């Protein structure tokens, strides 16, 4: 299992192997889970005027990351916390590549140094011209020490974060996938499965405060 440490979850995870058999219904169900957010994106979470505005020179930034989920009704009062580092490298043809590392923090952490899992790193993730980068984590676990709901570990049978990069070094992500513990259900409630990010100067910087109005992407 791959341990994460940076947002509704990112995490300790173990790899798995799919079967060689083709099951059209399973494939369709998987597609429904992966695309739920986009197909249900309505209301205040969607801003037609939003523009990614990717930075021409790219960036590398340290972040304080907070993820909410349908398990806590999207409340920023009980987020899963991470420390994360993101690097965006632009390409001449538009878009670029994205490197992302996150580490799970202790529930209610007061410092970015209070990590409770190993870092999880993804590199060379393609970024579209409109600033979208998708990381598929697969089966994943949030350790009990980082679960703000105090109900033991949280397991995912699959977890995908769809990042929106820009303007500048702004960052957010929507989560899709499915839980396997403490319940078994798809991650599919629009606006409640979101990770938000605040840039910080260093690992010893004071942690910023998030408000519920910031819980959206974009």
Give the residue from 169, 152, 149, 95 showing the smallest Cα distance to 125. Answer: 95
pLDDT digits (tens, 9 = 90+) for 82-107: 999 999 999 998 999 999 999 999 99
Residue 79 near residue 67 (C-beta atoms within 8 A): yes
The predicted model scores a pTM of 0.78
Give the residue from 125, 14, 151, 131 showing the smallest Cα distance to 69. Answer: 151
Instruction: Enumerate the domain spans of the chain.
Output: 2-14+25-41+50-204
pLDDT digits (tens, 9 = 90+) for 117-150: 999 999 999 999 999 999 999 999 999 999 999 8
């Amino acid at each position: 299992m791959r341990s994460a440490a940076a947002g509704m979850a990112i995490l300790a995870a173990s790899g798995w192997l799919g079967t060689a058999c083709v099951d059209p219904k399973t494939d369709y169900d998987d597609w429904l889970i992966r695309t739920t957010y986009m197909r249900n994106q309505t209301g205040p979470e969607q801003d037609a005027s939003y523009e990614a505005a990717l930075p021409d020179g790219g960036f590398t930034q340290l972040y304080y990351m907070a993820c909410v989920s349908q398990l806590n009704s999207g409340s920023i009062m009980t987020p899963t916390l991470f420390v994360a580092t993101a690097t965006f490298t632009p390409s001449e043809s538009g878009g670029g590549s994205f490197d992302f590392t996150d580490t799970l923090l202790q529930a209610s952490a007061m410092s970015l140094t209070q990590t409770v899992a190993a870092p999880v790193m993804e590199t060379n993730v393609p970024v579209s011209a409109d600033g979208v980068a998708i990381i598929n984590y697969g089966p994943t676990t949030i350790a009990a020490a980082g679960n703000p709901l105090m109900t033991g570990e949280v397991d995912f049978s699959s977890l995908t974060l769809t990042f929106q990069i820009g303007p500048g070094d702004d960052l957010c992500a929507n989560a899709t996938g499915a839980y396997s513990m403490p319940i078994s259900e798809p991650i599919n409630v629009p606006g409640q499965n979101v990770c938000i990010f605040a840039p910080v100067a260093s690992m010893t910087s004071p942690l910023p405060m998030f408000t519920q109005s910031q819980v959206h992407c974009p």
